[in-house]
Amino acid sequence: MTTHKLGFIGLGIMGTPMALNLIKGGHTLFVTTRSKVPQELTDAGATACTNAAEVAKQADIIFTMVPDTPDVEKVLFGEGGVAAGLTGQGGAPAGRGKIVVDMSSIDPIATKEFAKKINALGASYLDAPVSGGEVGAKAASLTIMVGGEQAAFDTVKPLFELMGKNITLIGGNGDGQTCKVANQIIVALNIAAVSEALVFASKAGADPAKVRQALMGGFASSRILEVHGERMIKRTFNPGFRIALHQKDLNLALQGAKALNVALPQTASAAQLMQSCVALGHGQADHSALVKALESMAQHPVAPDA
């Protein structure tokens, strides 16, 4: 097995378990995050660095996992960012042989520009957003959608396999992010559909838990009905993936649709439901809490809150 010096920037709900899985794979890890590096990572052997530039200098492959497009831009090109660590004396490119892998979910168009700038410093760039949430990050079962060059993908694929199971090179830079936006459209619409069905069933007087159980055996069965339907019934809305972040992803979809002159009416509807949730104070809850927007309109909860 080839071992690598790896960097990981962004150690939140997703980043920390992903980084831990890389360490478990036998790799050396240099890490930084905007808050304190979690103790479990340093206990596992990770080296805490003062900034992203130091991570980029120490590591051959640098992973980033932060919330939004401006966060990625700051981590890569801000003061003390990755680009500074890939720049030698006199501003000469010093990234030859290194690979930057952004696993955040961000704007595909901005991603293409970020890739060009990193390439100009001699390094390769992969956009590799993920799906599967905190559960998938901990279980190393994430779906990973990749955009970039084949050679860089082949180098990083064994590392992706430590974090996920369904790993696909979609195409060039930006295509991974485009795939993730498509994923978020499908997930949001499924959450909305399950929410409407359970609100309807509960308001009609049926037991929503029994309704979900019955539907799990039919054509309406889905992973969303299985996992998030249960959350809606048990009222377990602690975040695996926050509404505010999913709302950001749907905004990316709608911005892209406008640029492409494409209509996404159901996506727009789901985005408005998430906006309603944010207005109701649920922006930091799990995206399954989208049901609360529909419950508010119906003046009827699927089940009592704990």
- Return d(Cα 80, Cα 70) in angstroms, integer: 15
Q: Which tokens belong to 239?
A: 């975040």
Enumerate residues 6+ apart whose C-beta is below 8 A from 200: none
Burial of residue 20, with CB atoms counted within 10 A of its CB: 0-12 exposed, 13-18 middle, 19 or more buried: buried
Of 291, 285, 240, 249, the C-alpha closest to 133 is: 240
Q: Which tokens belong to 68?
A: 């939004």
Catalytic option among 57, 98, 138, 180? 180
Active site (annotated) includes residue 180? yes
Centre a 10 Å sphere on the Cβ of residue 139 and count the other Cβ atoms it contains.
14
End-to-end CA distance of the chain: give it in Å, rounded. 49
- Return d(Cα 181, Cα 187) in angstroms, integer: 10
At 73, the amino acid letter reads: E
Task: Tell me the three state secondary structure of residue 56.
Answer: helix
Contact in structure between 111 and 95 (CB atoms under 8 Å): no
Residue 235 DSSP code = T
Residues designated catalytic: 180
